[in-house]
Structure 1
Amino acid sequence: MDPARSSSPNPATLAPLDLHASWARSREFGLRPDDALSDALVSPADLRDRLEANARLLTFSRPVIENLFRQIGCPSSTLLLTDCDGLILSAIGDTGFLDRATRVALCPGAEWSEAAMGTNAIGTALTTRKAVAVEGSQHYLTRNRFLTCVATPIFSPTGGIAGILDISTDARANLSHADALLRTTAECIEHRLIENLGEGFLSLHFHTRPDLLGSPLEGLVLFDEAGRLLASNRAARALLQLHGEFPQGSYPECFTTQWRHLVAWAAFGPLTPFPLRTLHGQTCIARAELLLPRAPHGRRQAKSDEAPGRAEAPPAPDTDPRLGHAGTLVAEWHRNRCAGPLLLCGETGTGKRHLLYQHCRDHGIGMPLLELDGRSLAARAQAGRDELEDALRQTENGLLYLTDVDLLPAEARSRLFEAAGSSHRIVAASRHPLAREAEGNGLDQATLARHGAHIVTLPPLRERTDFAHLVHRFVREACPGRPIRVLPEAIDRLRRYPWPGNISELASRLRLMLALVGDDSTELRPDDIPDELLETAV
């Protein structure tokens, strides 16, 4: 009798059917369940080559993987990251379990494809291109049956699989909650890989649910100047019905809005959401941004640095000291793990969201971040309350950012603020100043003090001391490689406008002015500023 057939698992315990097919493939590879462990590790030199080849994957996955391990909270387990061939690149976890796992080559340098290890979560996820759980006796090789493993693919920005994310633990452990956490973490890694790809002319963020816009679960695509698709994440591929391992296409094959209109919108207001309809009839909320070129190390920068001697030297970066103080307050709040909620106050466009995201980037904070729109929640009554509760469950040991918190009913605000603490990091934003006492549905200082809130207020643009510096910065960003001298008289004229949209309005209007002056202009003069811009000037 064939030993492989005599050791087949009970079909009642083997689900889904993909695992039956995997056992058949394992036999076809010539493996037998009782095979002894071979010398499965690649050489140290080969492992170094693999690590170098996957440097981007490792760099952008490490912070979120470490946070995932803390969230799963499963003792005697290890969290693994592999390359596109199933070769383990990194392993973190319980020391004792890692020692035991090493005895079956569950460690960096070992290949866990089905051809090498038979049915296992890593290899089967690699073959089927979807999340797989393999429990105990479902493993093809007998020596691996002390394990329970869950794995999910990490998809490359341009198609195919970049790697596999796997959690492995003792066969008796319950990993029923790990599948969703692994998938969310994989999507977060995919999001970061696209954002740091260093290519593209325009990035488009979109989703049918407004509350998911700005989160790792949003659809994200990159297009070149001609509207050809360069990169996409799994959410975008699902929303746009892009099929195949390496999806290709163009903007007109995805959306109904004309390409030139999208480019104009991106140039005018990259942070402003707008409706966008897919070719398949779904209405999405979207944000579009024109991308600057990147330096070789991967960070976007203006190319004006490459043309010394021609441009006027910008003023010293005399950033408004209130911005530095705001950053310090956010850092202090983050270090205090038991702190109450963080409230960011400031008019529309003063940079509340930017301050939070910049802090997370600068300090390597990889915890999952979910963003919700308070205005949308308030408008949907019970559905909004249910969505808030769901968001609190999703962001346990994570970070929840809620905009327009002052529009929420008082009961919902209290529920939100009471959740803030060691297991929830709550950041709320308001576009209105605080009231000394409760006034209708607004926020008041007494309520915030009762919940231990940390309050950070960002000044409006018209009060900032670094106005000229911001003008020079946005001009350089809008015209990379083309030095533009901003005349002092132009800055004086711009100062006269109250800027109700603050930083985001200044950036978008400057892009529009520079587009109107033409590609040959080397100066921004007072008469380049349209009169209609200053109709409401004081």
Structure 2
Amino acid sequence: MPIAAAPAPPPDAVLAARRRFFSGAPVTEDALAVPILRSWTRCAERGMPVAGRLRAEPLTEAELAVRRERHEMLRRRCRPELEALHAAASASDSIAILTDPVGLVLDTVGAAGFADRAAQVALRPGVSWSEAETGTNAIGTALVERRPVEVRGAEHYAEAHGILTCAAAPIHDPFGELIGLLDLSGPASVPHLHALALVQLAADQVEHRLFEGAFPGHSLVRFHRDPIYLGTAREGILVFEDYRLVAANRPGLALLGLGWDALKAHRFGDLFEGSLGKAGEERRARTARGDVVLRLERQGAPAAARPARRESVAAVPAGPRFDAQTEKDLGRAVRLLEAGVPVLIQGETGAGKEVFAHQMHLLSSRSGRPFAAVNCAAVPEGLIESELFGYEEGAFTGARRAGFKGLFREADGGVLFLDEIGDMPLSLQSRLLRVLQEREVTPLGGGRPMKVDFALICASHRDLKQRVEQGAFRADLYFRIAQYTVTLPALRTLADREALVARIWRELAPAGEATAPSLSPDCLAALARHDWPGNFRQLVGVLRVLRALAEPGEELGLDALPADIRPAPAAGACASPSPAWSGGATMAAAGDLGAVTRAAIEATLAASGGNISEAARRLGIHRSTLHRHLTMQGPGRGR
């Protein structure tokens, strides 16, 4: 819902707050908006300069074209709002801006005169306005705070940006993920009374349209306290699959007093009294926050329960952020997918093959249709045929009473992703080839062939050419699915790994974290130098453990790293004590009972992958007891 802008502090009050802040004196919350003060504090902790020019190197034209192509669907959906924002603010000489989820400016629309002045401070396409690179500004700070933010004149951290007044609102997808941001920027000398409300409304409109046709086989509930708002961007929308909440918009969660963590944690009956009702009819329903008017919309019958490995509509899994070459490969792969050409993704385990496939789906014209995925190596050989092709009622013992339509038909109209296809049994490869040639599926147990339309993405960590030579994979199927192959690089081969590790560390920070732990230069360098045989999956796992065990504001050194990642000490150097979860046992050499206890704790934590709860269970003690032991081991060890 639109958020009313907070009253602007008088310019003199902001300047006084700047003087106090940068002289080291405390600044009260009534002297400066809380999000601005938090942002200034973050920027100061990073050592960002206040005067002079901040680093704002634009992408090259080729790099910007790749980034725009990657976010083409977002750009198309936001174009009407960009034009509307420009029209609404034309009198104030402003420009409307669209950025990607990390603050890179993709498009601008607005007054040429101010656009020239904005370009002087790099407010133009191809430049990142993330808070970490540009200081306090509406774009970067709204992305960190995950809420609409307005930054006026001297509230910007960098003095050079004081010529701007900017208002920005993030855009969330139906799963709560940030997918972009809309911003309205103009000269600080001109009043912008309704800028924040305008960008919030524009973001709401974009988010509202994301639900159109995006959830086949699901039940959509549209509701509001006042029926006049049904059908508008202010209505609440909840999406249910078999009565379980799987997606929502922000107004819907706000009306019920919920956050994004409510997804998959609630069922319809937890939120509304009564049943879903009939499609199209309006009825009153009681919630924990009062009565609402509810209207049900069914996009087909409620979907049958599915194993966790398959997804009809899914958020992109957490994983790597691709380098420039892989982003170019992604753009090409999407174009080929649109042309009906199958794409094969190769790469080591953990290199991001599934993330790449999800990105292809989201950037394609099929993004509003199903993404049906199956790991061919995880399904027992005796079941994979029924999983893919489906079956009729009574096809075999244990079959569902109503039969099962199978993954091929589930993917109809969308994308079929066959992960680890190199492990598909030879007997099934011939049937898959027939489906790809004829685009027809015949369920097990008989029945008539059914036409299917899906785009195909396959992936494997195996060398499929070698599998063909060994006779373990059909050559005709290989040439059918490998018409275009993308090989994802291993993490250890990427350039500038320190910047990559630092970026993933920042992205793992919880929203609104005030005093985030940091990585020391030595710790960051050690993480970047490690070989990472498990690639991004292993790196992200280690960074999550480090964050979970770190204290607020703590700088993590080499002693915080697991023993297998920490660099070996130089020859002749005295061994430093092992960290609490490194698995080292050097302290036991002292022979005292405390050292033996610490060694046992360290070894158990290492065997548990740093999981304190699991280590406590293995040791037969309570988690709080283990925490006390860790805390007693001194600074840097009680994480």
What TM-score, normalized to structure 2?
0.43
Other-structure match for 1:144: 161
Other-structure match for 1:251: 267
Q: Which has the higher contact order (CA 8 A, sep 6+)?
A: 1
Other-structure match for 1:77: 94
Classify 1:103/1:76 alpha carbon distance in 2 versus 1 (closer, same or farther; 3 Å). same
Classify 1:115/1:8 alpha carbon distance in 2 versus 1 (closer, same or farther; 3 Å). farther
Structure 1: distance between partners of 2:294 and 2:151:
38
Other-structure match for 1:364: none
What are the residue-to-residue correspondences of 1:193-232 with 2, within 5 Å? 193-224=210-241, 226-232=242-248
Classify 1:99/1:10 alpha carbon distance in 2 versus 1 (closer, same or farther; 3 Å). farther
Structure 2: distance between partners of 1:239 and 1:13:
29
Classify 1:246/1:78 alpha carbon distance in 2 versus 1 (closer, same or farther; 3 Å). farther
What's the CA shift for 1:273?
1.4
**1:47 aligned onto 2:61:** no
**1:58 aligned onto 2:127:** no
Aligned with residue 290 of structure 2, among 265, 282, 287: 282
Q: Retained in 2: the 8 A contact 1:7–1:33?
A: no
What's the CA shift for 1:52?
2.9
Structure 2: distance between partners of 1:248 and 1:42:
39
Classify 1:200/1:230 alpha carbon distance in 2 versus 1 (closer, same or farther; 3 Å). farther
Structure 2: distance between partners of 1:58 and 1:205:
26
Instruction: In structure 2, give the amino acid aligned to 1:97.
Output: F
Structure 2: distance between partners of 1:246 and 1:257:
17
Instruction: In structure 1, give the amino acid aligned to 2:286.
Output: R
Aligned with residue 197 of structure 2, among 180, 185, 208: 180
What's the CA shift for 1:107?
1.1
**1:23 aligned onto 2:40:** yes
Q: Retained in 2: the 8 A contact 1:3–1:33?
A: no
Other-structure match for 2:173: 156
Q: CA deviation digits over 1:488-523, x for unaligned, max 9? A: xxxxxxxxxxxxxxxxxxxxxxxxxxxxxxxxxxxx
Instruction: In structure 1, give the amino acid aligned to 2:293.
Output: I
Q: CA deviation digits over 1:377-414, x for unaligned, max 9? A: xxxxxxxxxxxxxxxxxxxxxxxxxxxxxxxxxxxxxx
Other-structure match for 1:237: 253
Other-structure match for 1:392: none
Classify 1:9/1:174 alpha carbon distance in 2 versus 1 (closer, same or farther; 3 Å). farther
Classify 1:26/1:199 alpha carbon distance in 2 versus 1 (closer, same or farther; 3 Å). farther
Classify 1:227/1:31 alpha carbon distance in 2 versus 1 (closer, same or farther; 3 Å). same
**1:130 aligned onto 2:161:** no
What's the CA shift for 1:112?
0.9
What's the CA shift for 1:14?
5.4
Q: Retained in 1: the 8 A contact 2:92–2:192?
A: no
What's the CA shift for 1:27?
1.1
Classify 1:204/1:10 alpha carbon distance in 2 versus 1 (closer, same or farther; 3 Å). same
- Aligned-partner SS, 1:153: strand
What's the CA shift for 1:136?
0.9
Other-structure match for 1:362: none
Other-structure match for 1:297: 366
- Aligned-partner SS, 1:56: helix
Structure 1: distance between partners of 2:261 and 2:138:
20
**1:265 aligned onto 2:282:** no
What's the CA shift for 1:106?
0.7
Alignment size in residue pairs: 301
Structure 2: distance between partners of 1:50 and 1:3:
40
Q: CA deviation digits over 1:325-372, x for unaligned, max 9? A: xxxxxxxxxxxxxxxxxxxxxxxxxxxxxxxxxxxxxxxxxxxxxxxx
Other-structure match for 1:116: 133
Q: Retained in 2: the 8 A contact 1:273–1:286?
A: yes
What's the CA shift for 1:254?
4.2
Instruction: In structure 2, give the amino acid aligned to 1:265.
Output: K
What are the residue-to-residue correspondences of 1:382-401 with 2, within 5 Å? none
Identity %: 34
Q: Retained in 2: the 8 A contact 1:14–1:138?
A: no
Classify 1:223/1:6 alpha carbon distance in 2 versus 1 (closer, same or farther; 3 Å). same
More off after superposition, 246-255 vs 87-96: 246-255
What's the CA shift for 1:53?
3.0
Classify 1:208/1:70 alpha carbon distance in 2 versus 1 (closer, same or farther; 3 Å). same
What's the CA shift for 1:131?
1.7
Instruction: In structure 2, give the amino acid aligned to 1:78.
Output: I
**1:86 aligned onto 2:109:** no
Structure 2: distance between partners of 1:144 and 1:70:
24
Classify 1:240/1:5 alpha carbon distance in 2 versus 1 (closer, same or farther; 3 Å). same
What's the CA shift for 1:246?
7.5
Structure 1: distance between partners of 2:224 and 2:90:
31
What's the CA shift for 1:157?
1.1
What's the CA shift for 1:141?
0.6
What's the CA shift for 1:298?
5.4
Classify 1:88/1:8 alpha carbon distance in 2 versus 1 (closer, same or farther; 3 Å). farther
What's the CA shift for 1:69?
1.7
What's the CA shift for 1:83?
1.5
- Aligned-partner SS, 1:222: strand
Q: Retained in 1: the 8 A contact 2:222–2:237?
A: yes
What's the CA shift for 1:82?
1.2
What is the RMSD of the two structures over their aligned residues, measured on CA atoms? 3.5
Q: Retained in 2: the 8 A contact 1:131–1:179?
A: yes
Q: CA deviation digits over 1:9-51, x for unaligned, max 9? A: 9979953122112111111122111132434213334333332
Instruction: In structure 2, give the amino acid aligned to 1:179.
Output: L
What's the CA shift for 1:120?
0.7
Aligned with residue 208 of structure 2, among 178, 191, 205: 191
Q: CA deviation digits over 1:107-135, x for unaligned, max 9? A: 11111111111111111111112221111
Classify 1:199/1:74 alpha carbon distance in 2 versus 1 (closer, same or farther; 3 Å). farther
- Aligned-partner SS, 2:115: helix
What's the CA shift for 1:244?
4.4
Other-structure match for 2:377: none
Instruction: In structure 2, give the amino acid aligned to 1:20.
Output: L
Q: Retained in 2: the 8 A contact 1:227–1:251?
A: yes
What TM-score, normalized to structure 1?
0.50
- Aligned-partner SS, 1:195: coil
Structure 2: distance between partners of 1:88 and 1:164:
9
Other-structure match for 1:168: 185
Structure 1: distance between partners of 2:32 and 2:195:
17
Structure 1: distance between partners of 2:160 and 2:194:
25
Instruction: In structure 2, give the amino acid aligned to 1:231.
Output: A
What's the CA shift for 1:228?
2.2
Classify 1:51/1:29 alpha carbon distance in 2 versus 1 (closer, same or farther; 3 Å). same
